[in-house]
Amino acid sequence: MSHFGVFFSAIPKLFWSEYSDQPFQKCLSCEVPLVECDLHVIQKRIVANEAVMEMAVCNRCRDKQAEEMSEETRKNVTEHMMACFQKRAAELLPQTEGTHVIEVTEIEDPEEGNAMLERCLESCLMCGTAREKCHRYSLAGLCRDSEMVVQVTPVGQTPFLICETCEQGMAHLVSKKTRDAWDRFVEEHFDGPPGVELDSPSHYPMAF
């Protein structure tokens, strides 16, 4: 069974809205129906198996968010994630000398594709801690219409999970400019009840 490939899956319930118990229907920012968007991203913040933050953002609004990130942040996060992907790829590649030729093709066997999806979500992308052992963690996934794009390559992965410890370890990669832009986004789109400050989305790096 190949470790690399692309597969289009029904969006798993883990990426549904906790509030409606259904797949997300519209972009959080522009409110355009997601079925009218080429691509969209779903992000969730999980604490004690419950979502304390969730959102679906169309690709256009995601690009606008990225434009507000500082060049410093983009460079730091990109380099950090690339190093992580390369390390994971090295673990999956055969332990032989020479150049490895990797074909990332579409997986047609649903059993193999769903197994790859499960591997993407069973542990933290960076440190490998099992999801069941993470009290707090974040999820992110790329979707196309009503499907989740499941893709694993030597230089990228979707969907993925990052535990709280690894998120905190990336905090120094985020500039003040980027942090301020993210805080403005949170203030505009989220209302949090008292007492959840430590779990609010403004207290972890926007790395997705």
Domain boundaries, the chain: 5-95+105-187
For 182-202, what is the mean pLDDT?
A: 60
Which of the given ranges, 14-28, 63-77, 164-178, 188-202, has the highest pLDDT on average? 14-28
The predicted-structure confidence for 38-66, as pLDDT tens digits, reads as follows 999 999 999 999 988 899 999 999 888 88
- Of all residues in the chain, the percent with pLDDT exceeding 90 is 45
In this predicted structure, the answer to whether residue 116 has a pLDDT above a threshold of 70 is yes
Task: Find out whether 18 and 53 touch, Cβ atoms under 8 Å.
Answer: no
**Cα 199–192–198 angle (5° rounding)?**
20
Closest among 176, 172, 167 to 198, alpha carbons compared: 167
The predicted-structure confidence for 133-180, as pLDDT tens digits, reads as follows 999 999 999 999 899 999 988 778 899 999 999 888 888 888 888 878
User: Residue 98: pLDDT band by 50, 70, 90 thresholds?
Assistant: low
What pLDDT sits at residue 196? 41
Point out the least confidently predicted range of 7-16, 72-81, 99-108, 179-188.
99-108
